[in-house]
Amino acid sequence: MKIIVCGAGQVGTTLARHLSKEANDVVVIDQSAELIRRLDDSLDVRGIVGYASRPSVLELAGASGADMIIAATVSDEVNMMACMVAHTLFNVPVKIARVRDQEYSTEQWPNLFGKDGLPIDVLISPEQEVARAIMRRLHAPGAIEMIELADNAIRLVGVRLGEQCPVINTPLRQLAALFPDLNIQVVGVIRDGRPFVPSDQDQLFPRDEVYFVADTLHVPRAMAAVGQDVPESHRVIIVGGGNIGRRLARIIEEEDRDISAMIIERDQEQATEIAQRLARTTVLNGDAMDPDLLEEANARRADTVIAVTDHDETNILASLLAKRYGTKQAIALVTRPAYSALLQPLDIDVIINPRAITASTILQLIRRGRVRAVHSIGDNFGEVIEIEAMESSGIVGKPLSESKLPHGAIIGAIARDGKVIVPRADTVIRAGDRVVLFATGSVIKRVERIFAVSLEHF
C-alpha cells in the first residue's frame, strides 16, 4: 500500500516507523529539511521537503498512485487543504486528517466534512482521543494503560508493580494455580526501561511495568491480584483549561455524575469562559503550583490530579506538588519522549503520551478487514492486535503448541460465543474467533501471515 504522511513531527514519525516496517511504500512530507533528513537517515521511507497542501509537492510525492493520505501537520488548515487537493487533483481514495480546533468539528457545522463538504473520510481529534484515554484511567485507578477489545469483552491493562504486590517473585506459570478462576495472561513487561515478552518461567519484580490481557468481568479481581485494588476516583482536579482539560470536564459532566471535577486555569479570561460553558465543573483562576491555591482546591481530599497544560514541565511539577499536598493519584500529560524515561522513579502514577494515542487511533483506522483493532504499547515496544481468525488461517484447527508463533508474539485471550478463553498449549483456535495478541514490532508481519491477514483499507 502506498501511503503519504504529511508532517514529520512526533505523530507523523511514529506512523511512518510503523507503516514502513510492514513493507508499505511510505512518503513523508514536511517543510523542515532537518526533520526530513532525520527520517531519511533512520527509516525506510522517502522524504520530501515542502508544504503538504501544495499540488506540486503532492504530485512529487506520487499522489496520483497513492492509496491513502494521512495529514498530521501542526496546522489544521494545511491538513484539510492537503486532503482536498489529494481528492480533487489526484483522486486519492482514503483521506485522514488530524484537526485539533474544536470549532471545525462542532455540531453547529454538520456539513463541513463529507459528501457535500470537505472530502475528508476520517477526522482525528487528538484532544478528544486523549480525553477519552484519561477517562478510561479514571474508571480503572491504578492502571497506567486500559484498552477495550472484542466489544469490551476483553481488556488490556497496564500496571506498575509496587513492593507489596502479591505476585512478585512468583513464576508466571504459577499464576493459574494461585488464581484458578481468573482469566488473565501477562503479555509484556518493561523492566528498567527494557521491554520483553515474558515466558512462563519469568518472575515479576517491584517497579516492573506489566501489561496483561483479562476478561473484562475479571479486571477488578485482576487489579487486586497485582496489588492495585484502588477505589475509583470521585473528586478530580484538572490542571489546565485548554482543549484537553475542557473536553475531559465535558465528558465527565455528560457521562459520569459520580465524579466532581475542578479546573485550575492560569489565564483569567480563559477561566471565565470555561466557567460559563461548563455546568457542574468548578473553575479556579490561578497557578496550580501555588500552595495557597492547592489549599483552596482542597487537594488533600482529591482522588486524582490530571495535569494537561501545554507544557510538560508544568504538568510534571504540578502533579508532584499535588501528590505532596495529599492527592492520591497523579496523571500527567507528557509529550517529549526524552522525559518519559526520567519519570518512572518520580511519584507520578500515569504518564499520558498523546503521540502514541493519536498514532494508535490512526493505525486502527488503516488496518481494516480481519484486523479489528490495533494499539501501540510503550515507546515502540509493540502492538496489541485484535484479529478475527479466518477459516484459511494457518493457525486455525490446531493446538497453539503447533502454531509456530514467533518469539516476541503471545496470544492473550480469545473471545468465542460470548465467552473469554485464556489460551493454553492445547487450546485450538476456531474460525470466527476474536483473537487478542501482543507482538513486538519486528514480528508483526510474520504474525499477520500466520493469521492470513492483509492490511486492507477502506
Q: Kindly list the domain boundaries of the chain, sorted by start residue.
A: 2-124, 131-225, 235-327, 363-450
- The model's confidence at residue 37, banded by pLDDT at 50, 70 and 90, is very high
pLDDT averaged over the chain? 87
- So what's the pLDDT on residue 458? 34
Judge whether residue 9 has pLDDT over 60. Answer: yes
- So what's the pLDDT on residue 72? 93
User: Higher confidence at residue 394 or residue 303?
Assistant: 303
Number of Cβ within 10 Å of residue 121's Cβ equals: 18
pLDDT tens-digit series, residues 357-368: 887 778 777 755
* Residue whose C-alpha cell reads 490512526 in the numeric block: 362
- So what's the pLDDT on residue 457? 34
- The model's confidence at residue 107, banded by pLDDT at 50, 70 and 90, is low
- So what's the pLDDT on residue 363? 75
Contact 204, 210 (CB under 8 A): yes
Contact 431, 396 (CB under 8 A): yes
Provide the CATH number for the domain formed by 363-450 in this structure. Answer: 3.30.70.1450
- So what's the pLDDT on residue 420? 93
Pick the CATH number of 235-327 from 3.90.930.60, 3.40.50.150, 3.40.50.720, 3.40.50.970: 3.40.50.720
- The model's confidence at residue 455, banded by pLDDT at 50, 70 and 90, is very low
Same fold, 2-124 and 235-327: yes
Judge whether residue 229 has pLDDT over 80. Answer: no
Number of Cβ within 10 Å of residue 98's Cβ equals: 27
- Tell me if the domain spanning 2-124 has CATH number 3.40.50.720: yes
- So what's the pLDDT on residue 419? 92
CA distance 334 to 343: 10
Contact 79, 14 (CB under 8 A): no
Beta bridge partners of 421: 414
- So what's the pLDDT on residue 27? 96
Say which CATH topology domain 131-225 has: Alpha-Beta Plaits (3.30.70)
Interval 275-289 mean pLDDT: 94
- So what's the pLDDT on residue 452? 65
Over pLDDT 90: what percentage of the chain?
48
Q: Residue 454 corresponds to which cell in the numbers above?
A: 492483509
- So what's the pLDDT on residue 344? 65
Judge whether residue 356 has pLDDT over 80. Answer: no
Closest CA to 157 of 233, 226, 73, 206: 226
Interval 434-443 mean pLDDT: 88
Interval 377-398 mean pLDDT: 83
Name 90's Cβ contacts closer than 8 Å, sequence gap at least 6.
58, 59, 63, 64, 66
Judge whether residue 216 has pLDDT over 50. Answer: yes
- So what's the pLDDT on residue 444? 78
- So what's the pLDDT on residue 367? 59
Output 241-245 pairs: Cβ under 8 A, ≥24 positions apart: 241/265, 241/267, 241/270, 241/271, 241/274, 241/283, 242/270, 242/308, 242/309, 242/310, 243/100, 243/102, 243/127, 244/127, 244/130, 244/131, 244/134, 244/308, 244/333, 245/306, 245/308, 245/309
Over pLDDT 70: what percentage of the chain?
95
| Positive or negative torsion for Cα 246, 251, 253, 257 | negative
pLDDT tens-digit series, residues 397-435: 889 988 888 889 999 999 999 899 988 889 999 988 999
- So what's the pLDDT on residue 456? 43
Interval 49-76 mean pLDDT: 95
Please state the pTM of the whole predicted model.
0.78
